[in-house]
Amino acid sequence: MKVYQTNEIKNIAILGSSGSGKTTLAEAMLYEGGVIKRRGSVDTKNTVSDYFPVEKEYGYSVFSTVFSVEWQNRKLNFIDCPGSDDFIGGAVSALNVTDTALMVINAQYGIEVGTVNQFRYTEQFNKPVIFILNQLDQEKADYDGVITQLKESYGSKVVQIQYPVHTGPSFNAVVDVLKMKMYKWKPEGGVPDVLDIPAEEMEKAQELHAALVEAAAENDDALMEKFFEDGALSEDEMRAGISAGLILRGMFPVFCVCAEKDMCVRRTLEFLGNVVPTVDRMPHFATTEGKDIAPDANGPTSIFFFKTTIEPHIGQVSFFKVISGKIKEGDDLLNADRGSKERIAQLFVVAGQTRSQVEEMVAGDIGATVKLKDVRRGNTLNGKGADYTFDFIKYPNSKYRRAIKAVSESDSEKLGELLNRMREEDPTWVIEQSKELKQTIISGQGEFHLRTLKWRLENNEKIPIEFIEPKIPYRETITKAARADYRHKKQSGGAGQFGEVHMIVEPYHEGMPTPDVYKFGTQEYKISVRDTQVVDLDWGGKLVFINSIVGGSIDARFLPAILKGIMARMEQGPLTGSYARDVRIIVYDGKMHPVDSNEISFMLAGRNAFSTAFKEAGPKILEPIYDVEVSVPADYLGDVMSDLQGRRSIIMGMSSEKGYEKLSARVPLKEMSSYSTSLSSITGGRASFNMKFSAYELVPADVQEKLLKAYAESQEED
C-alpha cells in the first residue's frame, strides 16, 4: 500500500445495533476494495471482522475491527464496532479516533435501542453521521417506515440520497437522487447497471432531488446564493454542500444497501471516497493541557494508542492514530505517559488479523504495530519536538458487577494477570481487588459482557471460574453524640501497660462548628480545642480528630497512637464490620503512668473507647445509592417503573427523547445486582440504562435489622 497524505485519508466508524449487518457490510467493502478475493459470512464464521474464537462462538462482534480500503486515490480507514451495548467500549474508542460514522440500520426493525445509544455518542463527540439502510431484501423490510422513524427522531436533517424501487425478496434496484440515475443489480450483486430513471419513478426522484439540492445549499453561503439565483446546483456543487453539511452535522444522508448480496456497496464506497471529509478538514485533537494539535505531516511526530489486542503466536498488537508528523519503521520514540523509550520495529495496515507491512504513515492515518515493550492503551509516543499527552477517550460507567474467583485456588494468581490483560483489550472492564469486601470484583456493561469473559477464560485460557453475588460496600456512621472512656491496664513481669482515654464522638458534616460544652445527663464537659486533624478517608467521608487535652493528662506523643487505634476500628465498624465514616472525635481527658504508658497502651485504649462510644451514638448503616437513567420504549414504561419501584427506587423524573422515554431514578446498589438482565427480559432487549454512583444514605430500619442479623450469624460461624 502506498503512503497516503493527510488530505487523502478518511477515518470512518461503522455503528449499528446487533443484527443490523455491520460485519457483512464490512466484508462487502473489503471485497469491493480488492482487499479480499472472496466474501466470508457470519454463518460460516470466516469474516475478516469477528475473527476471535468468542465471536465465532456467539455469532456477533465482541471487539472492534480495524480495516482499510483504497478507493479513488483515497485511503478509507474503517473501524467496525460491536452493536451490543455490552461492548460499547469499542464504539467509544472508535468514535474518538474517526471522523465520520456510518449508522447501519436493519430495514426490518428500524431504529433500535442500539441505534439510539450509539447516535447519542455521535452527538457527544460531534461526528458526522450517514445512515445505511441494510437488509432491504428481507420480507419485512419497510423502507418508508424507517425513513418516517428517522425523520421523527432526527428531524429534517435526514436527507435521502437513494431509495429502493422495491423492497423484500425482489429488491435489486435503487434510484440515486444525487446522480439522478437508477442502479440495478444482477442476482450476484457487485457492479450494477447504471440506467436512466424510469418514467414512473421520475416524479418522486425529482422531488427528492430538489430536497437534496436545497439541503446541500443550506450548509454553504456561496452555494445558497447560487441556488437562489439558478434554482439548481451541479453534481460537484452538491457534493461540496453535502460534505459541508456532514462536517456541521447539518444533514444526515441516507443510503440503501443489501450487504449480503453486495448491492449498492460499491456506490456507497464511491460516495465515501468523494464526499466524506478528509482528516485535515475535521476538528483537531487537544492535549491534556488544552493545546490544539493540527494533523500536520510536517509537524513533530506524536502517535496515540487507542486499542490493544492479544493474538495467538504474536502477542500484543497495538493500534494507533498518528496525531502529528510522520511515523517510520525504526523510529525511536518516548512514551510520554510511562517515561520509557520505544522503537517502532514494524508498521502495519490491518484488515482484521491480516497485516500488511508499510514503511511510513502520516498525520491522520490509523495503523498497528507489535511487540512494544511498555505501551498501554491510552499512551502517547512522541518524537523530537513533541511533548504531548492525550486523554480524550472517556468510557461509560459500569452497569453489572460480580465477584470472580478461580475454581482452583492455584489458578488465582494467573487469573489476576489475565483479568488485567483483558482490561487492556476492553477498557470498560473495571477490576477491583477489594480489601474491604475480601473479593475480586469485576464490573462490566451487562450480563452478556461477563459471560463472554467467562467463556474466554475457560475456553481460551483453560481456567474454570465462578461468579458470586458481590458483597455490598456498606458504611457505618452515627446519628448523635456519645461519650465513653476506657482504661487499658495490663501487668506482667517487668514493665506493664497502661493508658486511659476519655472521648466524645458525634456525627460530622462539612462546616459544622465545635461546641464549647457537651452535656450528657447532668454532666457537662467543657472543650478547649488544642489541635484538629481532618482525615480524608480512602473509602469516602471524613474523620475529624480533635485534641482537647488540658493539664497534660495525656502526653502529646501518645495522641498519634490513639488516632491509630481509632482508625483501626473505623476500618471495621462495630455493626457489620464495614468501614465507618463522617465521625468527629474529641479526646478531652485521660490518664497515663510514668513507667507503664506506651504507644500500644494508648492505641488499645483509644480503639476500645471509640468502639464503646460508637455503639452508644445511634449507629446506622449507610448504603451506596446510584443515579440510574433508563431509556425505554413508551410501551414498556409502566412495567419498567413498576420494576424499579420494587427495587426501593425513588423516581426523580421522566422525559421523552427521539421516540424513547427517559426515566431517572435513585436506586440502592443492592437492588441493581441483576437489573440489566431483568430490564432486557421486561422490554425484549429494547431498553438500555446507565448508572453512576451518587451518595451514601441510611438504610431503612428493616433492612438494617436484616444486615445486623446476617452479620451476627456470620461471626458465629467464624
pLDDT tens readout for residues 83-107: 998 999 999 999 999 999 999 999 9
DSSP three-state, residue 246: helix
Measured CA to CA, the distance from residue 93 to residue 108 in angstroms comes to 28
Measured CA to CA, the distance from residue 335 to residue 342 in angstroms comes to 7
Measured CA to CA, the distance from residue 135 to residue 127 in angstroms comes to 25
Q: What is the pLDDT of residue 553?
A: 94
Measured CA to CA, the distance from residue 186 to residue 174 in angstroms comes to 13
Q: What are the C-alpha distances in Å from 577 to residues 327, 475, 551, 619, 715?
A: 55, 9, 36, 13, 10
Asked, for residue 314, whether it belongs to a domain, the answer is no
Asked, for residue 506, whether it belongs to a domain, the answer is yes
Measured CA to CA, the distance from residue 283 to residue 429 in angstroms comes to 29
Average pLDDT for residues 524-550, to the nearest whole number?
94
CATH code of the domain containing 647: 3.30.70.240
Q: Which of 613, 633, 654 is the last residue of a domain?
A: 613
pLDDT digits (tens, 9 = 90+) for 228-237: 877 788 888 8
Q: Who contacts 487 (Cβ-Cβ below 8 Å, separation ≥6)?
A: 498, 499, 500, 591, 605
DSSP three-state, residue 174: strand
Pair 205, 112 in one domain: yes
Please give the radius of gyration of the chain, using alpha carbons only, rounded to the nearest integer. 32
pLDDT digits (tens, 9 = 90+) for 324-381: 999 999 999 999 999 999 999 999 999 988 999 999 999 999 999 998 999 999 999 9
Characterize 620-638 residue by residue with b for buried, 16 or more Cβ atoms within 10 angstroms of its Cβ, and e for exposed: bbbbbbbbbbbbbbeebbe
Residue, of 633 and 378, whose pLDDT is higher: 378
Report which DSSP code applies to 510: T
Pair 448, 539 in one domain: no
Pair 446, 490 in one domain: no
CB 67 within 8 A of CB 30: yes
CATH code of the domain containing 146: 3.40.50.300
Q: What is the pLDDT of residue 666?
A: 97
Pair 200, 53 in one domain: yes
Average pLDDT for residues 640-661, to the nearest whole number?
90
Residue, of 405 and 234, whose pLDDT is higher: 405
Pair 564, 581 in one domain: yes
Strand partners, 526: 517
pLDDT digits (tens, 9 = 90+) for 153-200: 899 999 999 999 999 999 999 999 999 999 999 998 889 999 999 999
Q: What is the pLDDT of residue 718?
A: 60
Looking at the 3D structure of the chain, how many domains does it have? 4
Asked, for residue 308, whether it belongs to a domain, the answer is no
Helix (H) or strand (E) holding 236: helix 235-247
DSSP three-state, residue 707: helix
Q: What is the pLDDT of residue 701?
A: 92
Q: What is the pLDDT of residue 571?
A: 92
Measured CA to CA, the distance from residue 679 to residue 670 in angstroms comes to 16
Residue 331 burial (CB count, 10 A): 18
Measured CA to CA, the distance from residue 211 to residue 177 in angstroms comes to 10
CB 335 within 8 A of CB 341: yes
Q: What are the C-alpha distances in Å from 389 to residues 281, 291, 292, 343, 371?
A: 22, 10, 12, 18, 22
Pair 488, 421 in one domain: no
Pair 548, 671 in one domain: no
Check pLDDT > 70 for residue 658.
no
Compute the mean pLDDT over every residue in the chain, rounded to the nearest whole number: 93
Q: What is the pLDDT of residue 167?
A: 96
Check pLDDT > 80 for residue 226.
yes
Residue, of 714 and 450, whose pLDDT is higher: 450
Pair 599, 625 in one domain: no
CATH code of the domain containing 409: 3.30.70.870
Asked, for residue 438, whether it belongs to a domain, the answer is yes
Q: Who contacts 446 (Cβ-Cβ below 8 Å, separation ≥6)?
A: 84, 85, 86, 399, 400, 676, 677, 680
Pair 627, 503 in one domain: no
Average pLDDT for residues 488-511, to the nearest whole number?
90
Measured CA to CA, the distance from residue 500 to residue 589 in angstroms comes to 8
Q: Which of 444, 471, 498 is the last residue of a domain?
A: 471
DSSP three-state, residue 660: strand
Q: What is the pLDDT of residue 481?
A: 96
Cell numbers for 139? 420480507
Check pLDDT > 90 for residue 128.
yes
CATH code of the domain containing 496: 3.30.230.10
Least confidently predicted of 465-469, 548-552, 601-605: 548-552
Range of the domain at 644: 621-703
Q: What is the pLDDT of residue 51?
A: 87
Check pLDDT > 90 for residue 668.
yes
Residue, of 346 and 222, whose pLDDT is higher: 346
Average pLDDT for residues 564-568, to the nearest whole number?
95
Q: Which of 414, 438, 471 is the last residue of a domain?
A: 471
Q: What is the pLDDT of residue 419?
A: 94
CB 8 within 8 A of CB 77: no
Measured CA to CA, the distance from residue 157 to residue 263 in angstroms comes to 25
Average pLDDT for residues 561-573, to the nearest whole number?
94
Strand partners, 317: 309, 370
Place of cell 458483597: 471
What count of residues does the chain have? Answer: 718
Q: What is the pLDDT of residue 350?
A: 93
Q: How confident is the model at residue 595 (pLDDT cuts 50, 70, 90)?
A: confident
Q: What is the pLDDT of residue 491?
A: 79
The 3 state secondary structure assigned to 145-171 is HHHHHHHHHHHHHEEECEEECCCCCCC
CB 306 within 8 A of CB 93: yes
Q: What is the pLDDT of residue 406?
A: 96
Q: How confident is the model at residue 113 (pLDDT cuts 50, 70, 90)?
A: confident
Q: What is the pLDDT of residue 529?
A: 93
Q: What is the pLDDT of residue 493?
A: 67
DSSP result, 520-573: ETTEEEE----EEEEEE-TTSSEEEEEE---TTSS-GGGHHHHHHHHHHHHTS-
Place of cell 490544539: 292
With 0-12 CB in 10 A as exposed, 13-18 as middle and 19+ as buried, what is 716? exposed
Measured CA to CA, the distance from residue 675 to residue 689 in angstroms comes to 9
Q: What percent of the chain has pLDDT over 90?
A: 81
Asked, for residue 84, whether it belongs to a domain, the answer is yes
Residue 575 burial (CB count, 10 A): 19
pLDDT digits (tens, 9 = 90+) for 238-293: 999 999 999 999 999 999 999 999 999 999 999 999 999 999 999 999 999 999 99
Asked, for residue 298, whether it belongs to a domain, the answer is no
Pair 91, 236 in one domain: yes
Pair 415, 562 in one domain: no
Asked, for residue 392, whether it belongs to a domain, the answer is no
Pair 87, 224 in one domain: yes
Asked, for residue 334, whether it belongs to a domain, the answer is no
